[in-house]
Amino acid sequence: MKTIKGPALFLAQFAGDQAPFNSWDGITRWAADCGYLGVQVPSWDGRLFDLAKAADSKDYCDEIAGVAAANGVQITELSTHLQGQLVAVHPAYDEAFDGFTVPERRGNPKARQEWAVDQVKMALAASRNLGLTAMASFSGALAWPFVYPWPQRPAGLVETAFDELARRWRPILDHAEDCGVDVCYEIHPGEDLHDGDSFEMFLDRVNGHARANMLYDPSHYVLQCLDYLDNIDIYKDRIRMFHVKDAEFNPTGRKGVYGGFQPWVDRAGRFRSLGDGQVDFGAIFSKMAANDFDGWAVVEWECCLKHPEDGAREGAEFVRSHIIRVTEAAFDDFAGGGTDDAANRRMLGIS
């Protein structure tokens, strides 16, 4: 068994235009002051990180890693959630997702998609330069508008969507193999990879690619009413990254999984700060330890009620208190009688 590393913090929800959240030095000092040992980096945020430079320059990567280390944290992974989303976008979402790309690529889906693929590949190269072995991402989505089977989906529609999704990602996964870095897809509503079945449909089409793996976040399973503990056992060999995020699901006579178009605070399913929701993290951390997960426990703060800085500080201690330092000895070793093969055979009545 292995002990999970942590606590770490995903910086995407905290980066901003005011100090200390607008510079790499400032935000890493702040994260360490909150009690974190690691940070997961949003690769698209130029206030913190120069992705193009990191992909090309080992010296630059050593420099930013050195700043983080001097401030008391290390880089756990890079994230390409926004760029990965743009690898596959259904036309219904073209305008909504245009803001994720650079201004000169907006209004041009083909150019935007090419930019996204290049960005994800650069992040894989940057991960290699930083000595990292996993990168977070979204899969993007072509079939998501058809997630509910009404009107009846034409035969082959979903299969065609997943064939195309796999075609777009296969060269990226091959580049990930060259870089020695896993692509960890966050299994997330809004992505074609939003549950176990859809992940497996994709995995089949990339021929079980060794670099196609999972980012496990139980909050997205609570909101889908999916068994988030069973999921760990099913996909333990593919779970290579872990977002520690809480959630609650409180259906009423008026609302359920779909949320009734209500804002987050009024939905049946809501993200919450750690310890304020319904996720059984004691059971999750136990399963992670039993399954030899040796990555980082990364807090992703999202809450419709609590202030983010309070959630961040509380989250560090929450994770620290849940990490299980695994044992190196069996609890009943004290009662071991000591034996050998001959004794075993005598005990079994084998001559």
Q: Percent of the chain, pLDDT > 70?
A: 98
In this prediction, residue 335 carries a pLDDT of 62
User: In terms of Cα–Cα distance, which of 136, 132, 143 is closest to 166?
Assistant: 143
Mean pLDDT of all residues belonging to the chain: 96
Neighbours of 41 (CB within 10 A): 30
Domain membership of residue 62 as a residue range: 5-347
Residue-wise pLDDT tens digits, 62-119: 999 999 999 999 999 999 999 999 999 999 999 999 999 999 999 999 999 999 999 9
In this prediction, residue 334 carries a pLDDT of 61
pLDDT confidence band for 163 (50 / 70 / 90): very high
288: phi > 0 → left, psi -120 to 50 → alpha, else beta; which?
alpha
User: 21: domain CATH number?
Assistant: 3.20.20.150
Pairing of strands 246-249, 269-272: antiparallel
Residue-wise pLDDT tens digits, 193-233: 999 999 999 999 999 999 999 999 999 999 999 999 999 99
Would the pLDDT of 331 be above 70? no
Would the pLDDT of 47 be above 80? yes
In this prediction, residue 344 carries a pLDDT of 87
Give the number of domains in the chain.
1
The strand pairing partners of 141, in sequence order, are: 89
pLDDT confidence band for 302 (50 / 70 / 90): very high
Would the pLDDT of 316 be above 70? yes
Would the pLDDT of 179 be above 80? yes
User: In terms of Cα–Cα distance, which of 184, 180, 194 is closest to 147?
Assistant: 194
Would the pLDDT of 333 be above 70? no
Q: Provide mean pLDDT across the span 153-157.
A: 97
Residues 6+ apart with CB under 8 A from 149: none
Burial class from Cβ neighbours inside 10 Å (0-12, 13-18, 19+) for residue 57 reads: middle
In this prediction, residue 286 carries a pLDDT of 97
Between CA 143 and CA 156 the distance in angstroms is 11
Q: Looking at per-residue confidence, does 36 or 345 come out higher?
A: 36
Distances from the Cα of 101 to the Cαs of 132, 164, 172, 280, in angstroms?
A: 25, 21, 18, 37
**pTM for the full predicted model:** 0.95
Between CA 279 and CA 235 the distance in angstroms is 18
In this prediction, residue 342 carries a pLDDT of 86
In this prediction, residue 351 carries a pLDDT of 76
Between CA 314 and CA 306 the distance in angstroms is 11
Residue-wise pLDDT tens digits, 245-301: 999 999 999 999 999 999 999 999 999 999 999 999 999 999 999 999 999 999 999
The region of weakest confidence among 110-124, 246-260, 311-325, 326-340 is 326-340
Residue-wise pLDDT tens digits, 18-32: 999 999 999 999 999
In this prediction, residue 1 carries a pLDDT of 81
